[in-house]
Amino acid sequence: MDLIGPIVDMIGLIGPSICNCLKYHIKLKEYLENLERSQAELQSRIEDIQLRIANESRYGKTTKNEVENWVKTAKQIIAEAKHVEEKARKVKWFSRCCLGKLADKKTQEIKEEYGKSNFESLVVDAPSSGREELRAPKLVGERDVKERIWRCLMEDDDQVGKIGVCGMGGIGKTTIMMHIYNDLLKETKFGRVIWITVSQAFNVGKLQNDIASRLNERLDDDDAIMRAGKLSKMLERQGTCVIILDDVWESFGLEQVGIPEPTPQNGCKLVLTSRREEVARSMGFQIIRVKPLSHEESLKLFSSKVGDGAIMKTPTLAPTVKLVVKECAGLPLAIVVVGSSMRGISDPSLWKNALNELRQQVKRSLQQVEDEVFGRLEFSYNRLKHEKDRHCFLYCALYPEDHDIYREELIEHWIEEGLIDEMESREAMRCSGRAILQRLEENCLLIEVDDFFIKMHDVVRDMALHMTRKRFFVKAGLQLKEVPEWNIEDVEKVSLMTNSISEIHLTIPSSMQSPRCQHLTTLLLSENRLRTIPEAFFDDMPNLKILDLSRNPIQALPKSLSNLESLTALLLSGCEDLKAMPCLSKLQALKKLNLWKSGMEEVPQGLEMLINLRYLILGYCYEIPRGTISKLYRLQHLVMFSTLQGGAEEIRELNKLEVLLGVWSKVSELNNFASFGKRLINFSICITEEGSGYEWLRALGSGDFQDRKEVSFSEFKIEDGDVIRLPSDVEEIYVLSREWWESLEWDHPNAKNVLQCFLRFYV
C-alpha cells in the first residue's frame, strides 16, 4: 500500500487520445439516437417476457432462474444506458468523445442482450417459494404443538384451512411458526409461503402492501376495495399458498384485505399467532394453544443459555438453579433472558440472591401488571452491571414495534443522548456503543437480525415501555394522522416517528402560545408528513436536547428553534423541501447537525458560531464561505457536498477530524489532502468539475459511512501535465467508466498497472 503514493506522484501528462476520440466526438448525437432506439426495443422485449410469465405461472410454477437473471441484467443495462443519456444532457466539450464511445458500447451490449432472450420456456415446477429461511432460535420442547400445526397444514386438507396459534407473550408462538415456515420452504405442496409480521399497529393498507411486496408486486391504487381485489387476484395466481400472520392483535375481515378464504379447492392455508384467543376465534380460526414448557424442557433450555452444563450437576447449586428455573414459569422468553443474565456465575450465594430477587420482582410485577412475563424480564434488566447499559436498552423502546434498528444509527443516537461517556475520539465512543450492544444481545434483551440490524422482542419492548411509562410517551409506527394528547409537563422523551402526522395541533390553554414541556429532552418526529410547525412551538422547551425532524416535507423551521439553547442534536436529513431556517448562533450546545439530502441551498446562518459541533453534514449547499469550517475546530465527522472556499487547507486545520466525505473541483486540493489525509480513519473524496457530480454524491447513502478510504473522479477533465497525488492508504479509486480509464494516456505505464487493483467503475 505504501507504494501507491510515490508511484502516483510520478503520473504526468495524462490526457485523452485525440485520434481515437474524434469520431465519437463528432457523431455523438448519432450514437445517442442508436442507443435510445436499441433500449426501447429491449424494454419491449422485457415487457413481452414478463407478460408471458404472468400467463404461464400457475400451480407449482415459478420463473426459471436463467430468465430472472436475464430480466435483471437487461434492466440493469437499460438503467446504465439512461445514465449515459442523462450525462449527455450535461455534456462538456471534453467529455463528448468518452460519451460517444460509451453510447456505442452500450448499444452493442443491448443488441447482444436482446439476442439472448429466445428461451424455450420461461417457467418450471417450483419446489418452494424461493424465500430465504428465517433466523429461528433453537426450538426446545413444543414438539406436540408443532406437530399439530403441521398436520393441519399438510394432512387435514378438507378440515382445517385457518389455524390460530395462541398463547401468552413470550411463550414461543413466533419461534414455533418460524421453524414451520422454514420447513414449509422445503416442501413441494405449496407454491408460495408468505410470512408477515402484523404487530399492534395494524393497518389494512400496510398489510396489503406487505403481502404484495412478498409477491414482488405493487399496489398503486388508493381505493381500498380496488386494492383488495387486485391483491386477491395476485394471490390466486400463486396457486396453493400458506400465509402466516405473526403477532395479530385485532380481528379483521379477510375480504377487506384481499386474502382469499382458504378452501379445499384453492388449497390455501392461513395461520395467525396472537396473544388474544378471542381475536382468532372471532375470525373463524381453529385454536391451537401453546402451553408453557414442562420442568424438564425448561431445565434443558435454561442449561443451554446459562453456558455451563456442570452448574446443573453441582450438588450445592442444582437445587437453587432448579428453583430459579421454576420461577420462569415455563416461559421460553423468560428462561432465555434469565439464563443469559446468569451465565458464568458459580457462587451458590449469588444464585440464592438471584432467586430472592426474581421472586420479589415477579411478586411486584403481578401486583402491577397483567403480563406474567414482565417481572422475570425485569429481573434480567436489573442484573445489567452498568447503569448506562440500562439506559441504552430503554432507549430502544422509542422505535416502532418489530422495527429493524440499524446498529450504527442506534449507537449514534446513544452518543447524541449522552448515554455513552465522552471520549477522546468519536470512533472510541462508537466502539463503546458496540460493546454495549453486544452485552444487551448476550443478555437476550436485544435480538440479532443480521450483521447490520437488531430488534427488540415485542414482549421485551412492552416491558421497557411499562418501566418508562411515566417518562416516555411512545406512539411510534401507529399510522397516526395527528399528534395525540399526553401529559406534556412530566414527560421526558416523546417518540412519534414513522406516522402520518401532517400538522401539529396540541390542546393547550389559550393563555399559552406553546406547550409547556419543562422536562422534555427528546422529541422524535422523523418519517411523518409535517409541512409546518407553529412559530412559537419550541418557546417553552428549555431542556430539549434532541430534535429529529428527518424525512418530513417541511419547508421552513419556526423562529422559536433559535431559543433551544440546550439542543445538542438537530437532525434534518431527508427534508428535501426545507428552504429556510432561523439563525443558529445561539445554539451553543449543539454537537450534531445533519442536513443530508435537505433542500437547503445556503449555509445556515450562524453556523460558524457553533464551536461545539462534533458531527456536521451540510448536504448540497452551493458555497461554504472561507473560514466557516476552520472555526469548528472540534469537528470529528464532516460531510460536505459544496464548494469550500478555503479548500483542503481549511480541512487541514481540523486536528480532531476522523471522517471526511467531500467534493473538490481541483487536483491541487486532492494533492493537498494527500499530505495529511492519512490521519483520518475514513474518507471519501470526489474530484469533479464545479457544479457536477452531484448524482454520484446522492447515490452514496446516508452520509454515515464506515470503513471507507476512497477517491473518485467524476466528470472531471484532467489537463496535460497534471500530477495527481493520492493518500498512501487509499483503498479504492472510482472512475466514470472503463472506457474513460482506458482513454487516458500515461507517461509511466507501470503506475497504471499498480492502480489497477484499487480501481472501481461507476458504469
What CATH number corresponds to the domain at position 229? 3.40.50.300
Alpha carbons 234 and 225: distance in angstroms, whole number? 14
CA 108 to chain CA mean position, Å = 38
Treating both helix axes as pointing N-terminal to C-terminal, what angle do 332-341 and 373-382 enclose, rounded to 10 degrees?
10
Q: Identify the CA nearest to 501 among candidates 486, 480, 484, 522.
A: 480
Q: In what order do the strands lie in the sheet with 241-246?
A: 192-197, 241-246, 269-274, 162-166, 286-289
Q: What single-letter amino acid sits at 438?
A: Q
Chosen domain end from 612, 637, 657: 612
The predicted-structure confidence for 465-521, as pLDDT tens digits, reads as follows 988 989 999 999 988 888 887 666 789 999 999 999 999 876 555 545 677 888 999
- CATH of residue 529's domain is 3.80.10.10
Instruction: Check: CB of residue 96 under 8 Å from CB of residue 35.
Output: no
Question: Measured at the alpha carbon of residue 272, what is the angle toward residues 269 and 276, in degrees to the nearest 5?
Answer: 145
Instruction: Check: CB of residue 683 under 8 Å from CB of residue 706.
Output: no
Instruction: Check: CB of residue 225 under 8 Å from CB of residue 178.
Output: no
Residue 62 falls inside a structural domain: yes
Alpha carbons 691 and 703: distance in angstroms, whole number? 19
Instruction: Check: CB of residue 596 under 8 Å from CB of residue 578.
Output: no
Residue 302 falls inside a structural domain: no
Residue 576 falls inside a structural domain: yes
Treating both helix axes as pointing N-terminal to C-terminal, what angle do 387-395 and 407-417 enclose, rounded to 10 degrees?
120
Strand blocks (E) in 210-335: 241-246, 269-274, 286-289
Tell me the backbone φ, ψ of residue 497, rounded to 5 degrees.
-65, 155
User: What SS3 class is residue 423?
Assistant: coil
**Residue 564 has which C-alpha cell?**
433551544
| Distance (Å) of CA 630 to CA 592, 610, 665, 687 | 16, 11, 19, 21
Given this model, what pLDDT does residue 16 score?
Answer: 37
Q: Which residue range(s) make up the domain with 79?
A: 18-125
Residue 465 falls inside a structural domain: no
**579 and 644 in a common domain:** no
Given this model, what pLDDT does residue 18 score?
Answer: 38
State whether the Cα torsion 56-61-66-68 is positive or negative: positive
Length in residues, the chain: 763
**pTM, two decimal places:** 0.68
Q: If you search the block for the grid coordinates 465519437, which residue do you land on?
A: 24
Number of structural domains found in the chain = 5
Tell me the backbone φ, ψ of residue 624, rounded to 5 degrees.
-105, 115
Residue 30 falls inside a structural domain: yes
**Residue 274 has which C-alpha cell?**
396472537
**154 and 120 in a common domain:** no
**512 and 435 in a common domain:** no
**618 and 607 in a common domain:** no
**Residue 95 has which C-alpha cell?**
467529455
Instruction: Check: CB of residue 201 under 8 Å from CB of residue 478.
Output: yes
Given this model, what pLDDT does residue 374 score?
Answer: 77
Instruction: Check: CB of residue 256 under 8 Å from CB of residue 282.
Output: no
Question: Measured at the alpha carbon of residue 728, what is the angle toward residues 722 and 734, in degrees to the nearest 5?
Answer: 65
CA 314 to chain CA mean position, Å = 46
Torsion of CA 197, 199, 204, 208, to 10 degrees: -10
Residue 216 falls inside a structural domain: yes
| Distance (Å) of CA 331 to CA 143, 166, 398, 685 | 15, 14, 25, 53
Given this model, what pLDDT does residue 692 score?
Answer: 52
Neighbours of 61 (CB within 10 A): 17
Chosen domain end from 612, 640, 674: 612
**630 and 595 in a common domain:** no
**Residue 625 has which C-alpha cell?**
464561505
Alpha carbons 168 and 276: distance in angstroms, whole number? 8
- Which positions ≥6 away from 314 have C-beta within 8 Å? 346
Q: How far apart are the first and last CA of the chain?
A: 26
Given this model, what pLDDT does residue 78 score?
Answer: 87
Given this model, what pLDDT does residue 25 score?
Answer: 55
Neighbours of 188 (CB within 10 A): 10
Tell me the backbone φ, ψ of residue 74, rounded to 5 degrees.
-60, -40
**607 and 700 in a common domain:** no
**181 and 94 in a common domain:** no
**411 and 316 in a common domain:** yes
Residue 296 falls inside a structural domain: no
**82 and 70 in a common domain:** yes
Residue 209, Cβ density class (10 Å: 0-12 exposed, 13-18 middle, ≥19 buried): middle
**281 and 157 in a common domain:** yes
Given this model, what pLDDT does residue 716 score?
Answer: 66
Residue 503 falls inside a structural domain: yes
pLDDT along the chain (763 residues), means of 10: 38 37 60 82 80 54 73 86 73 57 81 76 49 80 87 78 89 91 89 89 86 84 84 89 93 92 89 91 92 86 78 79 83 83 83 80 55 74 90 96 91 94 91 94 87 88 90 92 77 94 72 75 95 91 95 94 96 92 96 92 93 91 85 94 81 93 84 88 83 48 63 72 80 79 73 78 62
**164 and 86 in a common domain:** no
**517 and 483 in a common domain:** yes
Chosen domain end from 612, 628, 658: 612
